[in-house]
Amino acid sequence: MKTTERFYREGLELLRRSLGDADACFHEHQWESIEELVVHRSRLLVVQKTGWGKSTVYFTATRLLRNEGKGPTIIISPLLALMRNQIESAAKYGVRLGTINSSNSNPENKQTERQLLADQLDAVIISPERLPNEDFVEQVLLPVAGRVGLFVIDEAHCISDWGHDFRPDYKRIKHILPYMPPNLPVLATTATASQRVMDDIAEQL
């Protein structure tokens, strides 16, 4: 069976298991996005409205890549309120997810860091305010950079000066990417972006 067909079959099984629906199908462009990441190892910008299922794309891609022996997924996201919900959602795809952010206690963050370094997590969501922390970057992010399997930038409009929610910490992402594998698939997602913002995101990534 062709690689793409095998991945599609496995991805669809993950989707149906996560939803508890044996007849579920991918939304329009969801599978195409997963295929770009897993099969073609592309750098991809996905602009879709809230509720379309962007997390389905990166959790499915993460599980498929981990099944192939790839390293963990790094997700940059500013949405602290949603992180704990994401842990439960990821588990439905067979993805063990950790979070590193300011709403966690210091021991919780340290435990997640140790798990990430020991390759005990399939994915980790990191809030952007961790990126200016030199100790975190040097002791946690850079040591795992060479084996990262997928890099995700959620709320990617935050990376652009022209975006409605520009965050300076997002500018640091482009300085971290060069330490990661040269053929690393990258997914940037947002629910809203003008052409100017999309062009800026593409140029930076």
Q: What is the mean pLDDT of residues 46-55?
A: 90
What residue type is 113 in one-letter code? E
- Ramachandran bin of 94, using left for φ above 0, alpha for ψ from -120 to 50, beta for the remaining angles: left
Q: Global pTM?
A: 0.93
Strand order in the sheet with 43-47: 43-47, 186-190, 150-153, 73-76, 123-126, 97-100
Q: Give residue 102's pLDDT band: very low, low, confident or very high (50, 70, 90).
A: confident
- Both tokens of 46, joined, read 């996905």
Which CATH code of 3.60.40.10, 3.40.50.300, 3.30.70.1290, 1.20.120.10 fits the domain covering 27-204?
3.40.50.300
**What is the residue-wise DSSP string for 27-90?**
PTTHHHHHHHHHTS--EEEEE--TTS-HHHHHHHHHHHHHHTT---EEEE---HHHHHHHHHHH
Any idea what DSSP says for residue 167?
-
With contact defined as beta carbons under 8 Å apart, do 163 and 197 qualify? yes
- The SS3 call for residue 2 is coil
Q: What's the pLDDT tens digit per position in 80-99?
A: 666 678 888 999 999 999 99
C-alpha torsion sign, points 28, 32, 34, 36: negative
Q: What is the chain's mean pLDDT, rounded? A: 91
| Ranges of each domain in the chain | 27-204
Q: What's the pLDDT tens digit per position in 164-189?
A: 778 889 888 988 888 898 889 999 99
Any idea what DSSP says for residue 27?
P
Q: What's the pLDDT tens digit per position in 51-76?
A: 899 999 999 999 999 999 999 999 99
Whole-number pLDDT of residue 81: 63
